[in-house]
Amino acid sequence: MSWRKKSSLDWLRALPGVSQDEPLASRTSFGIGGPAEFFVESGRVEAIERTIAGCAEREIPYLLLGAGTNMLIADAGVEGLVIRVVNRDHSIEGTRVRAGAGLKMMRLARIVADANLRGFEFAIGVPGTVGGAVYQNAGCWGREMNDVLVDVAGFVPGKRDAADQDQELRQRVQEPSGRLGRAPRAGRGTQGRAPGRGNRLDAARQLHRQRGRRKGEGRSSAHRARARRGEAPLQRRARDRGRARGSLEMKVAVLCGGRSAEREVSLKSGAQVQSALRELGHEVVQVDIDASTWDVLRDGGFGCVFNALHGRLGEDGTVQGMLELLGLPYTGSGVLASALCMDKARAGSVMTAAGLDVPEFDEFEVKEGVSADTVEQLIAKYGLPLVIKPVREGSTIGLTIARDADAVASGLVLASKYDRRVLAQRFQEGTEITVGVLATPDLQVLPTLEIVSDNPVYDYDAKYTAGKSHHIIPARIPEHLREEAQHDAGVAFQVLGCSGMARVDIIVDADGTPWILEVNTVPGLTALSLLPDAAKAAGITFTDLCKRLVDHAVARHQNRIGPTSR
């Protein structure tokens, strides 16, 4: 054969870990066949690609071998080089599962099940490795790899043009199961799937998510150029399909309702979330808070809990503590950040200490009525109008903008009906805006949103009655003030220890100072709510927003350190 030059044989013998006349019968499911003339194992895609490139350059025939499932090796053995792929790395990030080509499908099915993810059960009946399953679009029991495949990373030897690479890979991974057979090749080698130069497309069996690949190292020049330009078209297409479908499905509990003054809003938020999660393919169960909630969540087999509870219990760390004890992944901030943000007085103190501008306030308990001295002292300190609100409520519930002494007294009484701890604060004139912040896990500050209310105050009625308020994105303030408000919102999110999502409410005064009013860790998710509108302006659909939050919750839980990590 023309390839059997001394230089080629010397190159083969110099490969790291290479052996000669290696028996292959024990490396296939049928247990028959002759030896490999040269044999090497590798789990690194860069090393495999370099080896294949070396074979191609020297016209050395080669065969890529995984688990050897359904592989018939001729008694004469395999000419040239057999490269056995042994990459068994795997990781789970949210509902995304990354697996190396050499990981067995049955093993991966168990790993996915142990992570409380659904939709991959069919893989328990698929023999062989991930590489072969992806390459052949393997399937059983009514499902196949193309149903769960989100993206692939690989190469096709001899195809250095990016468009040709994409076309080859796309054709292979999207063919229906059962259509990948080929006629056997005569002569020395395998039956059914022939090795050697005439079958270089076997390299595409390694279309897998290889852990550790960094910035295109070891890839062809075409792939390095594509890495600089962004994701390959095939990967974008697959990822878009995965986002729409929600990747692997699981059972999700949506907590909504509750016993706070924001119950009705929470139910509306929960309904929106449930619709989005069902669109993603998840099994969704609505869970209200009552005496049975602990048992329902403990015994329900949930892979994640989506917290859509507003106000007390849902935003103050109570539910978060319960979910930590149950060991369940949940969306949003943890115990400490939730409790801190719900307490407007303590959150204000933390933000002030961090150098953020927060309107000056006083906090005190209202137990039995309000004295005239208290009213006079507050007016003397802050002037009129004066903002009065419960320390631990949301949606402007219990809020009063007091414009005279009588209104101050009645406002204190009203606020005390929702919380004995009451906050009195200087009224801040200016443009009312809000800034959404996401951390799933990377920090993303959403565009500024200006609130224009038909009511004198952007109160509960204006927030949740259609037509009573309007959202303007971006806010009608100078660009440098928008950037400053976004910066401050991001800082507030971080110093308070928030996670997942939050909405930061701000007043920008005539002098251009952004005054932070409060941070909401479970903002409204209704059709009229602020954060979903801001996310939409940033190109994030409501469905994708919910998916990001669920994925982040699961990934955070999997990567936690200690029993109560946020």
Catalytic site positions: 262, 395, 464, 503, 505, 518, 520, 524
Burial class (CB in 10 A: 0-12, 13-18, 19+), 466: exposed
Q: How many CB atoms lie within 10 A of CB 376?
A: 12
Compute the C-alpha angle 203/82/57, nearest 5°.
65
CA distance 532 to 93: 24
**Phi/psi of residue 173, nearest 5 degrees:** -80, -10
CA distance 514 to 537: 21
Tokens for 534, please give them.
């801001």
- Provide the β-strand partners of residue 41: 84
DSSP state of 560: -
Contacts 24+ apart (CB under 8 A), 292-300: 293/322, 294/322, 294/326, 296/253, 297/253, 297/322, 297/323, 297/326, 297/328, 298/326, 300/251, 300/253
What 3-state class would DSSP assign to 32? Answer: coil
DSSP state of 366: -
CA distance 277 to 98: 22
Residue closest to 241 by CA, chosen among 179, 305, 172, 170: 170
Q: Which residues are CB-contacts of 223 (< 8 A; sequence separation ≥ 6)?
A: 155, 162, 165, 216, 232
Measure the CA dihedral 395/398/399/402, to 10°.
170
Q: How many CB atoms lie within 10 A of CB 136?
A: 24
Residue 153 · residue 209 · CB < 8 Å = yes
3-state secondary structure 386-399: EEEEECCCCCCCCC
- Dihedral sign for Cα atoms in the order 176, 177, 183, 189: positive
Q: Which residues are CB-contacts of 295 (< 8 A; sequence separation ≥ 6)?
A: none
Tokens for 11, please give them.
């190159």
- Provide the β-strand partners of residue 433: 450, 506
Residue closest to 310 by CA, chosen among 252, 253, 270, 351: 270
- Dihedral sign for Cα atoms in the order 291, 294, 394, 525: negative
